[in-house]
Chain A
Amino acid sequence: MIIDFHTHLDESWIGNKLMPEQTFLDLMNRYEVEVACIFTLEGFYGNCSMHNDNLAERARRNPQRLVPFATVNPKLGDQAVNELERCLANPLFRGVKFHTWLQAIAPSMVKETMIKLLKCAAKHNVPVIFHDGTPPYATTFQIAALARWVPAAKIILGHSGLSDYIVAAGQLAGELDNLYLCLTGPKSGEIKFLADTAGVDKMVFGSDLGFSDWRMLPECIDYVLQSGLHPQSISKIFYSNAVDLLDLKRRPL
């Protein structure tokens, strides 16, 4: 059984139609994904509230399976904080997603607002996942800095360093108690390193399902299965670490 911590469920992206909701759910069934954390894509470019409402609507139809993460535009200052408060007041939302590359802002350029947003997430006890691994707005170091700014917030590197920042991701997640790794991107030979360096308890599974071709899901599953980790570690990555991060024992879906 799997909890997929990194997916996108949206209508379209830059003019291209994305995977329909039913196809998304069928794929979850086929690959034994019990729960998917769903993010926007189009909402990274604007009109966050509408996209947050769309995510909530999808979750309302499948509350046991789809867990929406809210996205806000940190360039809007307190307006963004208010929008995040609005979303997190809705018990369907269980996390926050930023993509500072696509949202076109380095966290340090809006530091005051970012700190308010992370404190808001911490107050609601929900994790905050970021795209990482891409300069100049979303390097793994830039995202890890956020974990230092607000130690009470749970920050997740959405791609665990993606490709060139893998070593840094392992080191930083090992060093910072509130920094976690989502395995969307690292290959089999890197996952063992991340576990050895950051600790397997810091790792959750993610596939980017819905963003592109459906085969990303089974390929990401295979990266973990072929990593050489102990089956018990693999089941933590696929499931129980995500249960803890989402606090599902205290707040079941």
Chain B
Amino acid sequence: MLIDSHAMLGKENHHSLEERELIRRMDLHKVDKAIVRPMGSELIVENKLGNNRVLANGSRLLALVSVNPWFGDSALDELKRCYDSGAVGLFLHPARQGFFPVEPIAIPVLELAFSFRWPVMFHTGTYIYSDLLAVGEVARAYPDQLIIAGFGGYADMWFELPDLFDEVENLYLDTSLLFSHNVISVISKIGSSRILFGSGEPRNNYAVHFEALKRHSLSKETISAIMGDNAKRIFNIK
């Protein structure tokens, strides 16, 4: 099963992607399922709209929902609603939602997501508020939970990747924006069990990723772990 662990639906600045268009692209590239999260205003303030958008899509698109932690109790209520509606994880964007990953404001939201046994993906790579290493600290604070470094710290935190992933064993890597050799540098250090193929659609692109994959001689086992098995396991996909 080929699973894309990070695509985006909705509209944000020049980026825009509707459910039907994503499905068309998935069909073209033989992608079975995609984990999708909201973007733009539906990620930052209008969480209910964004969550409904990613929840409404049946079995091929699975919802990585989001709430802005500053909404307090109503954010928690919204997460419970999403859990009941079949979401598979939580996405947080500290830079856009306006909090620092280790600030107390995020704790109730994180702990509720963990109580659902959800993986939590953070946007990483934007300096200061979405510092890859700050997200590493969240993972260290909750060693029994699954934390995903969305975008793998792209652009320029690639030099932190191998050692960080070596040290923090509950941290997973989303490949969606990275140059392929930066992903390989992590695989060489820790193996493939915590690597998740993400397309980054509509910002990045299935065709670029699949061409890049062909230029590496990865084993069959590594490819199936990255391209589906790991996602299936951590998002509990049947």
Chain A residues in contact with chain B, CB under 8 A? 133-135, 159, 162-164, 167, 185, 187-190, 192-193, 196, 212-213, 215-216, 218-219, 222-223, 226
A134: chain B residues at CB < 8 Å are: 127, 155-156
- Mask, B33-59, CB within 8 Å of A = 1, is 000000000000000000000000000
B185, chain A: closest CB distance, angstroms: 9
B211: chain A residues at CB < 8 Å are: 218-219, 222
A187 in contact with B14 (CB, 8 Å)? no
Chain B residues in contact with chain A, CB under 8 A? 13-15, 125-127, 154-156, 177, 179-181, 184, 200-205, 207-208, 211-212, 215-216
B184: chain A residues at CB < 8 Å are: 213
Contact of A162 (CB < 8 Å), options: B13, B156, B207: B156
A222 in contact with B208 (CB, 8 Å)? yes
A58, chain B: closest CB distance, angstroms: 24
The 3 closest A-B pairs by CB, nearest first: A213-B181, A193-B14, A163-B155
A222: chain B residues at CB < 8 Å are: 207-208, 211-212
A26, chain B: closest CB distance, angstroms: 15
Closest to A224 in B: B208
B208 in contact with A185 (CB, 8 Å)? no
B207 in contact with A226 (CB, 8 Å)? yes
A187 in contact with B127 (CB, 8 Å)? no
A189 in contact with B204 (CB, 8 Å)? yes
B207 in contact with A187 (CB, 8 Å)? no
A36 and B12 alpha carbons, distance in the complex (Å): 35
Contact of B127 (CB < 8 Å), options: A135, A216, A219: A135
A159: chain B residues at CB < 8 Å are: 155
B15 in contact with A216 (CB, 8 Å)? no
B204 in contact with A215 (CB, 8 Å)? no
With A162-B155, A167-B14 known to touch, is A226 a contact of B205 (CB < 8 Å)?
yes
A100, chain B: closest CB distance, angstroms: 14
B204 in contact with A187 (CB, 8 Å)? yes
B14: chain A residues at CB < 8 Å are: 167, 189-190, 192-193, 196
B208 in contact with A188 (CB, 8 Å)? yes
A187 and B207 alpha carbons, distance in the complex (Å): 12
Closest to A196 in B: B14
B224, chain A: closest CB distance, angstroms: 21
B13 in contact with A167 (CB, 8 Å)? yes
Closest to A193 in B: B14
A213 and B154 alpha carbons, distance in the complex (Å): 16
Most chain B CB inside 10 Å of its own CB: which residue of A159, A188, A193, A196: A188
A188 and B203 alpha carbons, distance in the complex (Å): 7
B205: chain A residues at CB < 8 Å are: 187-189, 223, 226
A190 in contact with B203 (CB, 8 Å)? yes
A218 in contact with B155 (CB, 8 Å)? no
B154: chain A residues at CB < 8 Å are: 163
Contact of A216 (CB < 8 Å), options: B155, B179, B204: B179
A189: chain B residues at CB < 8 Å are: 14-15, 200-205
A213: chain B residues at CB < 8 Å are: 179-181, 184
A219 in contact with B180 (CB, 8 Å)? yes
A187 in contact with B200 (CB, 8 Å)? yes
B155 in contact with A185 (CB, 8 Å)? yes
With A188-B204, A188-B205, A226-B205 known to touch, is A164 a contact of B125 (CB < 8 Å)?
yes
A196 and B16 alpha carbons, distance in the complex (Å): 15
Closest to B206 in A: A226
A196 and B177 alpha carbons, distance in the complex (Å): 22
Contact of B180 (CB < 8 Å), options: A135, A215, A223: A215
A180, chain B: closest CB distance, angstroms: 19
A188: chain B residues at CB < 8 Å are: 203-205, 208
